[in-house]
Structure 1
């Protein structure tokens, strides 16, 4: 596969790709019931909570959506009929910000290159005439995927302790500005942000219609924000390590190196007695 393959695919290109024998389509929308009510024909469902995460009883240990082991993820891929040669496209109904970008990141993190996110999500595919189905799709041939470790860089809470206020590093919080400022917190226990983190909401990766900005537009935006810092000195987080992947996807779409993901994110930081910053008067 060429390294020039975009991490984003349009609905029109998806229609063409769907005829290829190595094509696998993944529905990453929340809730199996939504999938069973109707999905893009041929798509297999993956569940964020039970399959793309290893959720602990105490969210202070890794946050709300810790990663499973890479080997467990590879078992999931095999069960979905995905092998190292598969061309995989994933979609959700939140412009990639639900679990589609997380699944994309996990695939890239095991070294898989032929993985793309559907721009505009399920609605864009429906508008383009992609057929729908309410049948649970069968996997006729199991894949053979064997990996044992994540290849993309991740940061843990101890690293955040060390670098969050170091001017040589940049910690990016992609949550909505109201949550970052500490005005509201609809999910976690405490409002605010990691001291030293800057706020670049993931929604700013999209145009008013919900499609990703062009690679040129994204590159201009992030080159300005990153101020020349290398990817190894940049850490991206959100509430629980899911929507942060939307920004990692945007950076890849811009042709830039993928920085570190802080998987535990705010859900872990805010439960561990760490300092909390706000911008409230």
Structure 2
């Protein structure tokens, strides 16, 4: 059964007493853990992008946030207290546009179906008076059993992207803000610009003026027009380091599309090669 990939604050309130509910705070930034300790949604456990959701090495090989080894991620899920029966809800402080969507993609890619991202993230939940707490929360450790040995959602690598840049049947989608795509500014990576023949569909276009996901119907119409009848296997999404691109994959799942290819290395890897 396909479960919706987005959950609203009022829906989270309704299931807040479910025994299998596990809530995770995946905000990022240099003071992310400190901010989490000051205030987070009730019972939420902190997840670190750099250590739990990536295995950082040389950005030239895999980008700034390459995926961890599949087996290591399975161990991480157990340490976080997630098992096959867990009802997982994820949020961050950027409308799910940062590590919240990345964690969602990774859980879906190990075969975990019951995982949703909180619409509007931390700020919107607070504005709706959702209960908050402080300190460091945790869930009892479990053992996560996956029937798979490798990631189950489609990915491509730098050589595949190079081929796609020279094949008009492919659509390479850059979800960074337009100024980074155009090479006007580059606050993170060494070189400004974009992958040849990539088209820009900023992740922010998935959201309305309140920072909530647009309706599935609106998103479906916008992306259907953009895709021009391409199959999902001919579509590649990327961003700076394979994190924010997952926000657009989340939006596509929300809108009823098959999840297309993710290029995890993204501009951070491409620009260094």
TM-score, normalized by length of structure 1? 0.93
Asked if the contact 1:22/1:85 (under 8 Å) is kept, the reply is yes
1:268 and 1:141 map into 2 onto residues whose CA distance is: 34
2:243 and 2:131 map into 1 onto residues whose CA distance is: 28
Task: Note the 1:68-107 alignment, pairs <5 A.
Answer: 68-107=68-107
**Which residue number in structure 2 is paired with residue 62 of structure 1?**
62
1:172 and 1:137 map into 2 onto residues whose CA distance is: 37
Deviation at 1:140, TM superposition (A): 2.9
**Which residue number in structure 1 is paired with residue 247 of structure 2?**
246
Matched, 1:52 2:50: no
Give aligned pairs, total: 269
1:64 and 1:120 map into 2 onto residues whose CA distance is: 26
**Which residue number in structure 2 is paired with residue 136 of structure 1?**
136
1:25 and 1:170 map into 2 onto residues whose CA distance is: 35
Misfit runs of 4+, over 6 Å = none
- Identify which of 7, 10, 31 aligns with 1:9: 7
Judged with a 3 Å threshold, the aligned counterparts in structure 2 of structure 1 residues 100 and 130 are, in CA distance, closer, same or farther, namely same
**Which residue number in structure 2 is paired with residue 28 of structure 1?**
26
Task: Note the 1:1-281 alignment, pairs <5 A.
Answer: 2-3=1-2, 5-30=3-28, 31-56=32-57, 58-146=58-146, 147-272=148-273
Asked if the contact 2:80/2:140 (under 8 Å) is kept, the reply is no
Residues 48-76 of structure 1: CA distance to partner in whole angstroms, max 9, x if unpaired? 011100100x2101000000011111111
Which secondary structure does the structure 2 equivalent of 1:217 belong to?
helix
Comparing 254-263 with 136-145, greater Cα deviation is found at: 136-145
Q: Which runs of 5+ in 2 are unaligned?
A: none
Which secondary structure does the structure 2 equivalent of 1:100 belong to?
helix
Which secondary structure does the structure 1 equivalent of 2:116 belong to?
strand
Residues 99-144 of structure 1: CA distance to partner in whole angstroms, max 9, x if unpaired? 0000000011111110000000012222222211112113235243
2:246 and 2:266 map into 1 onto residues whose CA distance is: 12
C-alpha root-mean-square deviation of aligned residues, in Å? 1.1
TM-score, normalized by length of structure 2? 0.96
Q: Which runs of 5+ in 1 are unaligned?
A: 273-281
2:165 and 2:24 map into 1 onto residues whose CA distance is: 35
